[in-house]
């Protein structure tokens, strides 16, 4: 497709003239797949839970991602031998990415806390790593070793005992050697050639070939997201993730060619990707769009980028930088790029963002591959309540409480009064039995 003479038809929204309802609607979206996909994925999950490997094999054959030899688990020899099919340059790139991701996540490991709210009462808060985690890595016709790294490294830093990876096979029934090499560099030997909703079900419920996990993490398409929602409660999941998205805020202070490249970067993920350009003037916006149209013909995925921008993109015009930042915060993007004169300070006014990229020398692609920041992020506005995948996601907290006899005497009135008020007299009894009513009438 030749785009040199094609003018992009991207929706525009002027905050100065739009009514409040229109503005609010424009920031509202969801990471959830549509109801039809959720219902069908739920049926797949139930079937795999009931019939195990037989159902897993049927759906893998029907939807793609099935292993060529019929064995879901990838042989250790294939994992260890994959590196010979990968160039030294790519192996070095994987090692560099792993090193930086590990460095960024190492400080995230939580520390225990101890609180003494009053004399004789001690409350400890202790974090422990999960035992077994499943990392889902999208695959099939695409290859995402970076997603494997982003899911596995924080689990390793957390101290997870068992980590397995699920990824769909390519059309020829094999796993891409780049993905296997990334796994091998991280010491991962349990890899399953399976994808989609059926893979999520196998991880959550277990089959004859797959041991169930305590939590599932990793990005995926709508069927994977729907399946995660269906198994939530049976095991933990990281978050429901919709199509990739980005917001780019510009005041015109950065070269529009750079800003344009950032707009297109996230749009190339897929036709459903949502990207908005929030500019403080029509002039700044027009300069960026002109650069997009100039650069598009040079890119391999120009068709995908064009459809994403025309179907799900928007140019938002704000009167001031604070207005632009406020809109971006309301939109709550997965990725946020700030191209303003005071970019670092401006970033503090947008707490609702998964990952933020500051200034002209910080492309979003750096975060995807090299800086070490995690690129498994909340989408669909969920940046209001979720953050990037982190070490904390691979463990759980527990409380350990100790009370002395003297302290229990002091707490008795509070405990028994509230317990009796709620009609839970056995709760109150557990205190009076300990203290003995002849020595203390704990209800007084």
Annotated catalytic sites, by residue?
334-335
CA angle 231, 166, 56 (to 5 degrees): 65
What Cα–Cα distance (Å) separates residue 396 from each residue in 205, 230, 377, 393?
Answer: 20, 21, 20, 8
Instruction: Give the residue among 393, 377, 99, 184 at the shortest CA–CA distance from 165.
Output: 184
Q: Which residues contact 361 (CB under 8 A, 6 or more apart)?
A: none
For 341-377, b/e burial (b = at least 16 CB within 10 A) is eebeebbeebebbbbbbbbeebbbeebbbebbbbbbb
Q: Which residues contact 168 (CB under 8 A, 6 or more apart)?
A: 60, 64, 65, 138, 139, 140, 193, 194, 195, 196, 199
Q: CA 48 to CA 41: how far, in whole Å?
A: 11
């Amino acid at each position: 497709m030749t785009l040199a003479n094609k003018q992009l038809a991207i929706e525009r929204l002027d905050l100065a003239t739009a009514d409040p309802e229109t503005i609010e609607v424009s920031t509202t979206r969801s990471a959830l797949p549509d109801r039809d996909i959720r219902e069908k994925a739920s049926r797949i999950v139930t079937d795999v839970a009931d019939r195990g490997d037989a159902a897993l094999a049927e759906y893998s054959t029907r939807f793609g991602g099935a292993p060529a030899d019929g064995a879901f688990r990838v042989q250790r020899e294939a994992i260890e031998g994959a590196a010979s099919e990968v160039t030294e340059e790519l192996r070095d790139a994987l090692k560099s990415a792993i090193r930086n991701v590990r460095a960024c996540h190492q400080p995230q490991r939580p520390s225990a806390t101890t609180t003494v709210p009053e004399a004789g009462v001690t409350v400890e808060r202790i974090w422990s790593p999960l035992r077994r985690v499943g990392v889902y890595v999208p695959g099939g016709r695409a290859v995402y070793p970076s997603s494997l790294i982003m899911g596995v490294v924080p689990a390793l830093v957390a101290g997870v005992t068992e980590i397995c990876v699920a990824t769909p096979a390519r059309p020829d029934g094999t796993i891409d050697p780049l993905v296997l090499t990334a796994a091998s560099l991280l010491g991962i030997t349990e890899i399953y050639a399976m994808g989609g909703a059926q893979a999520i079900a196998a991880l959550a419920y277990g089959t004859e070939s797959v041991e169930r996990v305590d939590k599932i993490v990793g990005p995926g398409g709508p069927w994977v997201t729907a399946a995660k929602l269906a198994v939530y409660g049976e095991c933990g999941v990281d978050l429901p993730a919709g199509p990739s998205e980005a917001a780019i805020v510009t005041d015109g202070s950065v070269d529009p060619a750079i800003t344009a490249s950032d707009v297109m970067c996230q749009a190339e993920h897929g036709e459903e990707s949502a990207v908005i350009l929030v500019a403080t003037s029509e002039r700044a916006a027009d300069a960026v769009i002109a650069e997009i149209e100039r650069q598009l013909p040079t890119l391999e995925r120009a068709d995908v980028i064009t459809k994403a921008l025309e179907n799900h993109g928007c140019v938002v015009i704000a009167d001031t930088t604070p207005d632009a930042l406020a809109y971006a915060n309301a939109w709550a993007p997965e990725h946020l790029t700030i191209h303003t004169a005071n970019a670092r300070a401006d970033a503090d006014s947008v707490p609702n963002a998964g990952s933020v990229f500051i200034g002209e020398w910080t492309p979003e692609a750096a975060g995807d591959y090299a800086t070490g920041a995690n690129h498994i992020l909340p989408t669909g506005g969920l940046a209001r309540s979720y953050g990037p995948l982190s070490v904390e996601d691979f463990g759980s907290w527990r409380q350990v409480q100790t009370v002395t006899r003297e302290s229990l005497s002091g707490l008795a009135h509070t405990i028994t009064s509230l317990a009796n008020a709620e009609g839970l007299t056995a709760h109150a009894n557990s205190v009076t039995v300990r203290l003995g009513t002849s020595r203390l009438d704990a209800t007084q």
